[in-house]
Each structure stands twice: as structure tokens, then as C-alpha cells.
Amino acid sequence: MAPKGRKGAKEVQKVYDYSGLEEGMKCQAEADGSYYAAEIVQVSTSKNRTKAPVKINFKGYDKEWDTWVSGDQLRSKALKTVAPEKKERESLEINFGYWKIRGLGAIFRMIFEYKGVKYTDNQYEGAEGADKWFKEDKPKILEKNPLANLPYIQCGKETICQTNACLTYLGRRLRMNGLGRDAQAMNEMLLCEIYDVRNAIIELVYPFKTVCRDAAEHKEKSVKHLAGGPFKKFEAVLEKAGTDYFCGKLPSVCDFHIWEMLDQNKLLAEKHMTPKGVFSPSHGSGAADIFADLPKCKAFYDRFRALASLQKYFDSDAYKFPINNPIADAYVQ
């Protein structure tokens, strides 16, 4: 009995070079699972014969028994195999749109740079940018997707809107949603959890939300937000996982949003707090360390910041964009 192949193993299809075969050559050919002495009658180069290009005659049989066979059914020293051509994965080309701020856009710009994605960054700035989005580009997006919003991603015929939908789409295309079901589930949960942290920041920085009606109220509630430890859950996830990144050994899409929010909260603390949680009139002087009780998050923050493929982004103007939209009179820009 022939040995059984490894269960689930994918058989590699052989590619044959028939150029060494000639009419009249002796060979062996397979029939009903056994090999018999045969002679090559013809080697065809016709496109209609690519699957079985060799006509053979079995020794001792009339030509009525001649048959066409493939390389898998032949044994001959003149028959060679060649390495199959590797199909290069088609590189992604992304058309991306968001305000000319860090906000949610920074997450995507970092992912694109990290994976070397070719992308167009449509940045909408100020009143002119708002007009371009609402009057020109959004109507075009609506024709393809009734959920048109910023950010958006266009890739080929696909138009994706809504932040987490865009991120999970990129995760699928770039293999960044986590390896295995558990990691993928954690990636999805963390995308939702970090969005809660972002929503808390939005409440604090934009006057139109009426949560912070003036700058003094913004400072007071920012200190309360930071003192509440918005990243305790994330510290616990890293502690339990014991991995460099939140879903494994390599960054998943959630890591990019988490890092961005750590950075934004770090800047918020430097703007408003001293180590004792008192308002600091000067930016950065004696500012509170949001990582004081978050050693795992601090290690993650530094590790991510040092990624070689992201240094181009961190050196670019995009990293220096306002964090929040100036046209909405954000308290933190």
C-alpha cells in the first residue's frame, strides 16, 4: 500500500518541458494506474493540446490504441520539469480620503506606510476642503456607497466607508486582522474599545459637542479623563497576551489606532497636567506621564514608534498635522 499523504497538504502541480521529446523515442506511459512500454508518435505545440500534448503508441498495440497523454502519465529521461511561474500578488492601490488632520487619518496613513501600499491621500482642509468634500467628492462616493463618509477607501471597484469597516477591510487585504480566530476576534474587540477612547477625546476637544463649553471646562474634564485611566484595559490585554503587539508578534490594524490614541492622550496630558493632576500653564513642563502605571503600554508605544517602516511617516508633514480640526475651533490642535 502506498504511503498516505499528509492530510490537507496541497499537491504542487508540476510544469513539464516537452522540448526534449521527439517522435520515435522509447518511453513508458500510464494506463489504468500502471506503466507500459510505449513509443512517442507526436509532440504537439497546439494550444488545444496543452493539457496532453504527447501522442504515444503502446508497444504491441495497433495505432487505433494511440492516445494523448500529459507529462504526469509519462516516464522518460528526456522529459524535464520546470519551476512554475510564481504569480506576483497584485499590489494594492488605494484612493483614501480624510480631513487634513491626524484624527482618524493618521491610523490609515501609518498602515499604508507600514505595508508599502501605493495610495493617494485626498486631504480636505479648511472651508475650501469642506466644500470640495460635501459638494464634489461626497456626491461621487454616494453613487457607489450610500454610507459615504470620511474616512473612505477606494480600491478597484470597491468603495468602503466608516472607520472600522475600512480598517477591517485593509486587515483582510493586507493580512493584518490577526492570525487565527482568537486573534481576529481580539482585533475586532480592540477596534471597538479604542473607538470608545477616541469618542471620549472628541467630547473633550470640540466645543460643538457642548460637553466642554469653554476652555476652562475642557481643562477640568481632560484632567478627569486622564486620571480615570483610559488605557487600563489595554494594559491588561497586553499583560494577559504576553506578546509584543495586541494580537500577536506583529502589528494588526488595531495596534495603529491604539498607538495613535496613546500618542494623542500623551499630548493632552503634556498640555494640561502636572504629576499631581494640577493644571499646567506651560506645554510639556512637568507634564504628567500617562505611562506611569502602564509599563506594557509604554513598551508597546516605544516599540511601535521605532518601527523602521514607519520612520518616513513620523518624519513627514502628515505626523505634524493638527490632531483635531481647526475649523471646528478644537481646544487641542
- What number is the average pLDDT over the span 154-165? 96
Q: What is the pLDDT of residues 252-303, one digit of tens each?
A: 999 999 999 999 999 888 887 655 544 444 443 334 688 989 999 999 999 9
CB crowding 116-144: b at 16 or more within 10 Å, else e: ebebeebbbbeeebeebbeeebbeebeee
Residue 126: in which H helix or E strand, if any?
Answer: helix 126-131
Cα distance between residue 279 and residue 275, in whole Å: 10
Cell, residue 206: 470640540
Provide the pLDDT confidence category of residue 250 given band limits of 50, 70 and 90: very high
According to DSSP, the residues that pair with 93 across neighbouring strands are 118
Cell, residue 199: 469618542
Cell, residue 11: 499537491
CB 259 within 8 A of CB 304: yes
| Structure letter (DSSP) for residue 273 | B
Is residue 177 in a domain?
Answer: yes
Q: How many beta carbons lie within 10 A of that of residue 100, not counting itself?
A: 19
Instruction: Please identify which residue in the block is written with the cell numbers 474587540.
Output: 189
Provide the pLDDT confidence category of residue 329 given band limits of 50, 70 and 90: confident
Q: What is the pLDDT of residues 169-215, one digit of tens each?
A: 999 999 999 999 999 999 999 999 999 999 999 898 888 887 878 88
The pLDDT value given to residue 286: 39
Please give the tally of structural domains in the chain: 1
The pLDDT value given to residue 285: 38
**Percent of the chain's residues with pLDDT above 90:** 69
The pLDDT value given to residue 328: 76
Is residue 146 in a domain?
Answer: yes
Cα distance between residue 194 and residue 260, in whole Å: 10
Q: What is the pLDDT of residues 11-68, one digit of tens each?
A: 667 889 999 999 999 999 998 889 999 999 999 999 889 899 999 999 989 989 999 9
Amino acid in position 231:
F
Q: What is the mean pLDDT of the chain?
A: 89
Is residue 160 in a domain?
Answer: yes
Strands 67-69 and 15-17: unpaired
Ranges assigned E (strand) in 100-183: 118-124, 152-155, 158-161
Cell, residue 104: 482618524
The pLDDT value given to residue 8: 52
Is residue 191 in a domain?
Answer: yes
Is residue 113 in a domain?
Answer: yes
Pick the residue with more confidence: 330 or 205?
205
Q: How many beta carbons lie within 10 A of that of residue 39, not counting itself?
A: 15
The pLDDT value given to residue 277: 45
The pLDDT value given to residue 226: 85
The pLDDT value given to residue 218: 85
Instruction: Please identify which residue in the block is written with the cell numbers 483610559.
Output: 230
Is residue 27 in a domain?
Answer: no
Q: Which residues contact 233 (CB under 8 A, 6 or more apart)?
A: 193
Cα distance between residue 275 and residue 292, in whole Å: 10
Residue 97: which CATH number?
Answer: 1.20.1050.130
Residue 139 domain boundaries: 93-328
Residue count (the chain): 333
Is residue 213 in a domain?
Answer: yes
What's the burial of 276, exposed, middle or buried (CB within 10 Å: 0-12/13-18/19+)?
exposed
Is residue 58 in a domain?
Answer: no
Cα torsion at 105, 108, 110, 114 (round to 10°)?
-170
- Rounded to a whole number of angstroms, the CA Rg of the chain reads 31
